[in-house]
Amino acid sequence: MLLFLVLLNGCVSQQRVECTKDSECAIGGCSSQVCTSIDKAKDLITTCEYREEYGCLKLTLCGCVDNKCQWNENEDYKTCLEEVRV
C-alpha cells in the first residue's frame, strides 16, 4: 500500500504557487492589461495596443486567486466585457 501511495504521489502534477496574497501581484503591460506577480511585472514587455475590453479592467482587481495572480472576474467586469464585445 505504501508503495502505491508513493507512486501515485509521483504522478500528481505539482502546481506552482505564484502567490499566497494579493499584495504579491501587480499590474503590468503597456495598457495595464496584465495581472502577474510583482517580480514578473517589472520586466514584462507587451505590445502597445489598446482594446475596448481593457477599459473593463477598472471594474475588477488584480490579485491572488487560487495561488495565481489574475483578474478577479466579478459580475460588473463580465457585464462590461459582454457589452464591448457586441
Show me where the domains of the chain are located. 17-84
Q: Residue 45 forms beta bridges with which residues? A: none
Does residue 8 carry a pLDDT above 80? no
Q: What is the pLDDT of residues 11-60, one digit of tens each?
A: 555 678 999 999 999 999 999 999 999 999 989 999 999 999 999 999 99
Residue with cell 505539482: 14
Sorted by sequence, the CB contacts under 8 Å of residue 59 that are 6+ apart come out as 74, 76, 77, 80
> Considering Cα of 50, then 51, then 54, then 55, what sign does the dihedral take?
positive
| Cα radius of gyration rounded to whole Å, the chain | 18
Q: Residue 76 forms beta bridges with which residues? A: none
State the Cα–Cα distance between residues 82 and 70, nearest whole angstrom: 19
